[in-house]
């Protein structure tokens, strides 16, 4: 017997909400009862303490300034990384000259964690803001670059041969074969890049920021405001979830024409 799609979707949503609610309830039980086994839950704030601190911060202008500043940094750095990373990934896969020139530099720089470049960014850029955006760009750039390169390499050569047989030139191949065919892999890299970018922008804000969710979270820790620390952590999680979901939604819509996407959505 085949299940109705609507019932399956609602069942999945209920299970997801129940898992989140169970985790929150467990957190409250462990912290409210000062449980200390191997982990010291008695040192953590309770759920009610965090919710109270969250409510207080939502009513302040500073919270929204920090949130807006972090979003500006992540969207700027990620946007630049998406544009340049996709272009560079296609270039590495399609041009031997570009691969020979830029490929070794990319492979040498790729294993270096973006957060390790923070001291260099502080020295290189005239403002902390530009340095943080650069760190965010660098964090997202390489996942997007590598995913795009692999996606283009994986395209069947038959597609390109068919376009050329019909009289198409290199631009027809690029816009009718390479770009559409590599979109699933490209959006996979964009999704990974967004997550890594959030990790690095928060870390950069903690080290050299003046505003932002990461800076405010670290400041709360230095003044022993542990509920404020968890407010920052939860805010980061929500922002990361929303931005990653936005990338995935756009990716599903853009690649809706692909047969495997249509089949998986049934």
Does residue 8 have a pLDDT over 70?
yes
Overall average pLDDT of the 84-101 stretch = 92
Res. 155: pLDDT tops 90: no
Listed in sequence order, the residues at least 6 apart from 53 whose beta carbon sits closer than 8 Å to its beta carbon are 45, 225, 227, 228, 230, 231
User: In 10 A of CB 115, how many CB atoms?
Assistant: 18
pLDDT confidence of 2, banded at 50, 70, 90?
A: low
Q: Write the DSSP assignment of the chain as a string of letters.
A: -PPPHHHHHHHHHHHHHHHHHHHHHHHHHHHHTT-BSSSBGGGSPPHHHHHHHHHHHHTSHHHHHHHHHHHHHHHHHHHHHHHHHHHHHHHHHH-HHHHHHHHHHHHHHTTS-GGGGHHHHHHHSSSHHHHHHHHHHHHHHHHHHHHHHHHHHTS-HHHHHHHHHTT--HHHHIIIIIHHHHHHHHHHHHHHHHHHHHHHHHHHHHHH-SSSHHHHHHHHHHTT-HHHHHHHHHHHHHHHHHHHHHHHHHHHHHTTTSHHHHHHH-
- Residue 36 has phi, psi (to 5 degrees) of -135, 100
Is pLDDT of 166 > 60? yes
For residue 140, pLDDT over 80 is answered with yes
Q: Is 262 a residue whose pLDDT tops 50?
A: no
Of 149, 153, 151, 155, the closest CA to residue 90 belongs to 149
**pLDDT band, residue 11 (cuts 50/70/90):** confident
- In angstroms, the CA 189 to CA 174 distance is 19
CB 197 within 8 A of CB 74: yes
Distance in angstroms (rounded) separating the CA atoms of residues 134 and 74: 10
Residue 64: the pLDDT is 94
Round to whole Å and give the CA distance between 50 and 150.
43
- Chain centroid offset of residue 236 CA: 11
What was the pLDDT predicted at 6?
A: 60
Task: From 142, 122, 144, 147, select the one nearest 133 (Cα to Cα).
Answer: 122
Question: What structural domains and CATH numbers belong to the chain?
Answer: 1-49 (no CATH), 60-265 (1.10.3720.10)
pLDDT in tens, 195-241: 999 999 998 888 877 889 999 999 999 998 899 999 999 999 999 99
As a whole-number percent, the residues of the chain with pLDDT over 90 amount to 52
> Predicted confidence band at 7 (pLDDT cuts at 50, 70, 90)?
low
> Highest-confidence range of 37-41, 149-153, 252-256, by mean pLDDT?
149-153
Phi, psi of 40 (to 5 degrees): -100, 80
For the purposes of burial, counting CB atoms within 10 Å of the CB of 228, is it exposed (0-12), middle (13-18) or buried (19 or more)? buried
* 206 contacts 217 by C-beta, under 8 angstroms: yes
Say what the pLDDT of residue 48 is. Answer: 92
| Among 74-78, 130-134, 189-193, 255-259, the least confident range | 255-259
């Amino acid at each position: 017997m085949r299940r109705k799609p609507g019932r399956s979707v609602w069942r999945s949503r209920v299970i997801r909400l129940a898992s989140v609610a169970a985790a929150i309830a467990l957190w409250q039980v462990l912290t409210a009862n000062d449980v200390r086994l191997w982990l010291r839950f008695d040192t953590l704030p309770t759920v009610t303490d965090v919710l109270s601190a969250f409510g207080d911060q939502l009513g302040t202008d500073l919270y929204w300034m920090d949130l807006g500043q972090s979003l500006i940094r992540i969207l700027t750095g990620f946007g630049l990384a998406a544009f340049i990373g996709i272009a560079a990934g296609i270039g590495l896969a399609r041009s031997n000259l570009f691969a020979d020139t830029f490929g070794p530099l990319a492979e040498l720089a790729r294993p270096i964690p973006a957060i390790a470049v923070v001291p260099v960014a502080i020295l290189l850029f005239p403002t902390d803001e530009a340095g943080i955006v650069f760190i965010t760009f660098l964090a997202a750039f390489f996942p997007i670059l590598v995913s795009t390169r692999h996606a283009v390499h994986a395209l069947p050569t038959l597609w390109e041969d068919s376009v050329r047989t019909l009289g198409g030139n290199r631009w027809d191949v690029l816009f009718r074969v390479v770009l559409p065919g590599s979109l699933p892999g490209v959006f996979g890299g964009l999704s990974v890049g967004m997550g890594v970018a959030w990790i690095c922008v928060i870390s950069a804000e903690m080290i050299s920021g003046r505003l932002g969710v990461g800076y405010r979270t670290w400041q709360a820790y230095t003044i022993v405001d542990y509920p404020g620390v968890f407010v920052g952590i939860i805010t980061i999680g929500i922002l990361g979830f929303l931005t990653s979901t936005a990338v995935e939604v756009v990716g599903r819509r853009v690649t809706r024409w692909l047969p495997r996407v249509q089949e998986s959505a049934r």
